[in-house]
Amino acid sequence: MILRSIEVSGWRCFADSVRVGPFGDGITVLFGPNGTGKSTLFDAMARALLDRHRVSGADADTLRPWGRNLAPTVAVEFMHEGVEYRLEKKFLDHPSALLRRREAGRFVRLDEDDAADERVRGFLKGEAPGKGLAQVRHWGLAQVLWSPQGALDLPELSGDLPNDIRAMLGAQVAGPAGSRIEQKIQELYRGYYTATGKVKSGKDAPEAVRLEQELEKARGTLQEVRVRLAQYEAMSRKLEDLRNARAQARRDADAISETLANAARRVQQYAALRAERKEKAAQAKAADAQHSQIKQRIEDIRKSAADLAEAEKQRAEIAADLAAWERTVEEAGQQRLQSKARLENARAGQAATDAARREAELARRYVESAGLAREAGSRLESIRGAEAELEARRTERTALRAPDPATLAAVRQAVKDRDEAQVGLDAALTWLEIVPARDCELRVVAGETPGPQVVRAGSAGRFTGSPEVVVEVEGFGRIRAGGPSASAEEYRAVRDEAASRLARLAAPFGTQDMVRLEALRDEAQRLDGLIAEAATRLETMLAGRSRQALEQQLAAHQTVVAGVEQERPLWAQAPPDVAALDQHAEAVRVSVGDVVARAELELAAAERAHAAAQSQCAGLGGRLQEIDRHVASSRERWQSLAADGKSDEQRQAERNQRELDWGAARAALAQIDEKLEAFPEDPSEEHARLQRQREAANQAAQEALAEEARMEGQLADRAAEGPYSAAAAAEENEAALAAQHARERLRMDAIGLLRETYWQAKEQAIAGIVAPVEAAATRIIERIAGRRLGPIRLTSGFVPDEVRPQVAGAGVSLKQASGGEREQIFLAARLALAEVIARRERQLVVLDDTLTATDAGRLARVMRVLEEAAQKLQILILTCHPERYRALEGAHFINLEEAVAS
């Protein structure tokens, strides 16, 4: 398509009608200052060719001139495939579209309204916008051919444009025959697959899909019947097992029954033997009892006779002993009486012994008490002396007034405080010394001694005071002396308090002299030591007792002495000889004691002999009575045992017979026991156990039979189904479907593979076409910018993607290129693609205010490129800098400003 003219009215800045054209086949430069409507004119052309005439909405309203209620109207004359057209469109108010075709030298109505919209849009392979104004993406071929203001960059080509370009290129590759085959491939393919390459489903699904579904169902059925067949076979095996088990159970039961019969016989044998043994055992026991009885009787008679004889013998012996002991008792009694008389005689000499002892004891007490009385008197005398000395020392100490150590320390502190305060006071006072040349009368106005004073010539008059000393000297004036700022009054108060305290502390001792006070203290300490010494001595003498107690003790000794002297007056003159008296008493005691002791021993021995003899007699008397009773009972027992009227010989014969009977019974019992040893345990237990086993085996056989019958029923039912035949039929159906499906699937897959292989080959061929476009674009950019940028690479969608400068060695994104080079690269790509599109027909290329970043040098080269491109393309350049394009040879320049004005 190429443009012939544009006429607009009521369109944005064009309120009135403006017509621009005609445009030549080559280059047209439409120029004018900013705002004259160059881009508006281009916009009107694009809207006319690509927008619906009935477009509405806020965006569409912006097409009206500002502040005017005019309907935007545009008329475009163009040529497409050698035919001239005129398209008239009115937007917004009573919108309309009318397409006329030049026929016989005049435009004749061809389409109107929507038909006109659609036909013209088809010329450019544009897409109908959904709502609102068309966007660049709806422009079809114009996406490549037309560059809106300042937008030379190629956007990602949208819609069917890439496919359209490829189709154009592909058609050129495949040729007419190829296209027909491709069409047939597509028709076959669409019979099986959707446009997205998926196998069709639903009512349009190919036969393979239907067969696959049937096959799936058939496989499900096959699986089911195979399961039933397997169950049938398992049942058969199970039934066989059950029959085997039942037969085995029957064999087991039969074997157990046989064993049980044997066991029953053994039980009978065992029971008979047990009964016989019981009888024999009873017989043996009875024989044993009879034998034992006769044997015991014989033994009892023998023992009874022996006991009687022994008892009688013992009695005779005891009776003889008793008579002898009775005589001994009598003799021991007489002996005892004699010993008793001798003792009484010996005890009569005991009084002389006691008197001699008492005399000796009295003399010892007298001598001891007299000695103790003397000793106590002497001790009391010493105690009294010590008490007197202690009292004298205490009196002397009481008379001495001396300070104790605490008082003395307090006195020392008071003296110290007083002296320190006095020193401070002296330091705190101001002093003034006056040494007059002549006697001088003066008056102390302020000071320690206020009042008039006289100071003699040559002597020093010293005045103190605090805080100052003021002296008024007659005829001279006042003298004021100042000094330290310390408080003399404070020192004075401290000193006075210390002096007062000292006086109070020292008053009891009559002196404040420290030396005197310390001497008093030393004297007091010496007296205290003497008192302590005397007290210690007194305490030692008393030895813990009081003097009164000692005096009472002395009195007691003196009383004893006096009492004895009253009884033995001679002892007062001559004290008795205690030792001699003791010897005498001892001699008397020894003499009498020996006799008494012998008599006592003799009496004791006589009494013991008498008692022993009496005891023996009593014992023998008791034993005699006891043996008498034993003899009587033995005799009675013997008489009882021997009362059977048999002789000893007869009894022994009977015993021998009983012993033979017992031995025979034991032998018979041993024989039975020997038979019973063949039965290690009671066979009835085994019999009972076998009975239980047989019952269990019978039960198992019955259960197996029942299970077998049940399984036979199930198996018969399953066999009646003919499971194998069902499986065979299902398998054949599945196999037939599988074969059919495989054939259909093969057809479908083959068509899919054919189409895919064809498409891959075609894509590859088309991809090969992109290369010439790249090469063309590269040639253009090399002419404009030299070889610096290297080859241009396009995406599969024909959009410049990168350049490959030789120095980089790899692709470089266009984002890294400068603004000028970037627009030059896109211009090159657009022109290269435009040449491809324009192979069949010259096409309009619009460059609206582009190449603004290109320098003058390269722009000149661009001019050459555009001039060459114009051989196949109609190029419309919209610019406000016409001077930049003046170098274009053959270009037609249109001043829009003038066109509007005209």
Partner 1 sequence: MRFLHTADWQIGMRAAHVGAAGGRVREERLAAARRAVGQARAAGAEFILVAGDTFEHNGVDRALVQKVGDILAGFGGPVFVIPGNHDPLAPGSVWEHPVWNVSPQLRVLRDPAQVSVGEVDIFPCPLTEEHSRRDPTAWISAAGSGRIRLGLAHGSLEGIALDDLDYPIARDAAERGGLDYLALGHWHSWARFHGPDGVPRTAYSGTHETTRFGERDSGYVLLVEIVAPGAAPVITPLGAGGLCWQELPRELRAPGDLGALRGSLEALASPDSTLVDVRLAGLLFAAEQGELARVRELIGARFLFGRLDESGLRPAPEDDQWFERLPDGVLRETAVRLRVLADPSYQGPRREGATPEVAAQALMDLYKLAGEVGA
Q: Point out which residues bind partner 1 (CB under 8 A).
A: 170, 173-175, 177-178, 180-182, 184-185, 188, 229, 232-233, 235-237, 239-240, 243, 711-712, 715-716, 718-720, 722-729, 731-736, 739, 746-747, 749-754, 756-758, 760-762, 764-765
Task: Report the nearest approach of partner 1 to the CB of residue 253 (Å).
Answer: 22
Task: Give the nearer residue to partner 1 in terms of CB position, either 196 or 395.
Answer: 196
Rg (CA), the chain: 85
Q: Give me the least distance between CB of 713 and partner 1, in Å please.
A: 11
Nearer Cβ to partner 1 (289/753): 753
| d(C-alpha 640, C-alpha 634), whole Å | 10
Q: Around Cβ 233, how many Cβ atoms within 10 Å?
A: 13
Task: Kindly write down the DSSP assignment for every residue of 93-140, as one continuous string.
Answer: SS-EEEEEEEETTEEEEEEEHHHHHHHHHHHTT----SSSS--GGG-T
Q: Taking the complex as a whole, how short is the minimal distance between the CB of residue 187 and partner 1, in angstroms? A: 10
Question: CA-CA distance, 707 to 511, in Å (whole number)?
Answer: 145
Instruction: In angstroms, give the least distance from the CB of 722 to partner 1.
Output: 3
Smallest distance from the beta carbon of 201 to partner 1, in angstroms?
18
**Exposure pattern of 610-630 as b/e (b: 16+ CB <10 Å)?**
beebbebbeebeebbeebeeb
Task: Check residue 82 and give left, alpha or beta (phi > 0: left; psi -120 to 50: alpha).
Answer: left
Residue (473 or 705) nearer to partner 1, CB:
705
* Residue 235, token pair as written in the block: 């049942």
Closer residue to partner 1, CB minimum distance, 246 or 858: 246
Minimum CB distance to partner 1, residue 181 (Å): 5
**Residue nearer to partner 1 on the CB measure, 23 or 192:** 192
C-alpha–C-alpha distance, residues 843 and 846, integer Å: 10
Q: What's the min distance (Å) between Cβ of 244 and partner 1? A: 10
b (16+ CB within 10 A) / e for 283-314: bbeebbebbeebbebbeebeebbebbeebeeb
CA 540 to chain centre: 85
Q: How far is the CB of 835 from partner 1 (least distance, A)?
A: 22
User: Which backbone phi and psi does 460 adopt, to 5 degrees?
Assistant: -95, 120
| 396 closest CA partner among 528, 250, 236, 556 | 528
Q: Which is nearer to partner 1, 449 or 725 (CB)?
A: 725
Query: Considering the complex, what minimum distance in angstroms separates the CB of residue 214 from partner 1?
Result: 13
Peptide bond into 791 cis (omega under 30): no
Return phi, psi of residue 645, to 5°: 75, 10
Q: Taking the complex as a whole, how short is the minimal distance between the CB of residue 189 and partner 1, in angstroms?
A: 11
Of 3, 71, 10, the closest CA to residue 42 belongs to 3
Angle at 610 between CA 609 and CA 616, to 5 degrees: 90
Nearest approach, Cβ of residue 812 and partner 1 (Å): 33
- Smallest distance, Å, CB 836 to partner 1? 18
* Closest CB 743 distance from partner 1, rounded Å: 10
Of residues 65 and 752, the one with the C-beta less far from partner 1? 752
| Rounded CA separation 540/796 (Å) | 143
Q: Which is nearer to partner 1, 216 or 404 (CB)?
A: 216
Decide whether 355 or 746 has the Cβ nearer to partner 1: 746
- Pick the closest to residue 142 from 274, 75, 42, 255 (CA basis): 42
Residues in the chain: 902
Q: Which is nearer to partner 1, 196 or 485 (CB)?
A: 196
Residue 561's DSSP bridge partners are none
CB of 228 to partner 1, least distance (A): 9
**Closer CB to partner 1, 236 or 895, in the complex:** 236
- Structure token pair of residue 75: 């008329």
User: Which residue lies nearer to partner 1 by CB, 179 or 671?
Assistant: 179
3-state secondary structure of 472: strand
Question: How many other C-beta atoms lie within 10 A of the C-beta of residue 521?
Answer: 16
Indicate the pairing of strand 873-879 with strand 892-895: unpaired
- Specify the amino acid at residue 146: W
What is the nearest approach in angstroms of partner 1 to the Cβ of residue 229? 6
**CB closer to partner 1, 615 vs 725:** 725
Sign of CA dihedral 490, 494, 499, 500: positive
Taking the complex as a whole, the smallest distance from the CB of residue 805 to partner 1 amounts, in Å, to 34
Q: Are 830 and 152 in contact (CB under 8 A)?
A: yes
Q: From CA 727, how far away is CA 158, in angstroms rounded?
A: 59
Kindly tell me which of 640 and 796 has the beta carbon lying closer to partner 1. 796
Q: Which residues of 811-838 are buried (b: 16+ CB within 10 A; e: fewer)?
A: ebebeebeebbbbbbbbbbbbbbbbbbb
Give least dist CB 131 to partner 1, A.
40
> What are the residues whose beta carbons fall under 8 Å from the beta carbon of 537, sequence distance 6 or more?
386, 389
Exposure letters 171-186 (e unless 16+ CB within 10 A, then b)? eeebeeeeeeebeebe
**Nearest to partner 1 of 181, 355 (CB atom):** 181
Shorter beta-carbon distance to partner 1: residue 34 or 764: 764
**Minimum distance between the CB of residue 797 and partner 1, rounded to whole angstroms?**
20
Report CA 304 to chain centroid distance, whole Å: 98
Compare residues 682 and 712 and give the one whose CB is closer to partner 1: 712
Are residues 175 and 163 in contact, defined by beta-carbon separation less than 8 angstroms? no
Nearer to partner 1, 180 or 313 (CB): 180
Please, is 677 exposed, middle or buried when counting C-beta atoms within 10 Å of its C-beta (0-12, 13-18, 19+)?
A: exposed
Q: How many CA atoms lie within 13 A of 99 on its CB side?
A: 23
